Structure 1
């Protein structure tokens, strides 16, 4: 499966537990929605990613990716130290040029 560079980089940053690089794949005013909370801007996204990564030691394995225009849906197998691991989740993305402007995680 061929992934856009942005998505490939996001997955690699997550698997390397590099929250700084992870946040750099988002626009300055991007939003993330996960587990009933939302985060805005790179600083909040970095802090959210760092906190969840430290807590759950998450690793992502892409299963499928579909993109239509600026909207994409990435299906990933997420493993970590959380109940029910591994779990399949959907990352609903909105892309702006080569960055992510919105991410909603479901599953």
Structure 2
């Protein structure tokens, strides 16, 4: 599947558990919504992804990507050490200046 460069980097850094490179996909004041919690700014996002990686060891397999204006939706099969794995999730991306300004993870 052909993904835009930013989205490909987002997936790659998740799958290699590279939290330093992962947060470079986000703006300084980006907002992430996942599992009923909100994480704001690169420091909180880094803490969230490091904890999630440690807890779930999740890997994303992109299934579909759609982009309209400054919004994108990545649909991916996510597998890891969590109940119900694998699961198909949607990653709703708000894009700003070529990087992610918001991320909302939904089923």
Structure 2 unaligned blocks of 5 or more: none
Structure 1 unaligned blocks of 5 or more: none
- The whole-number CA distance in structure 1 between the counterparts of 2:38 and 2:6 is 21
Instruction: Give the TM-score taking structure 2 as reference length.
Output: 0.98
Deviation string, structure 1 residues 51-82 (Cα, Å, up to 9, x no partner)? 00000000000000000000111000000000
Matches within 5 A, 1:48-63: 48-63=48-63
Q: Which segments of structure 1 move beyond 6 Å, counting only runs of 4 or more?
A: none
The Cα of 1:103 is off from its aligned counterpart by: 0.2
- The whole-number CA distance in structure 2 between the counterparts of 1:54 and 1:21 is 16
Counterpart residue number, 1:91: 91
Counterpart residue number, 1:71: 71
The Cα of 1:97 is off from its aligned counterpart by: 1.8
- The whole-number CA distance in structure 1 between the counterparts of 2:21 and 2:4 is 16
1:20 is the counterpart of 2:6: no
Counterpart residue number, 2:2: 2
Equivalences, count: 107
The Cα of 1:98 is off from its aligned counterpart by: 1.5
1:39 is the counterpart of 2:39: yes
The Cα of 1:2 is off from its aligned counterpart by: 1.8
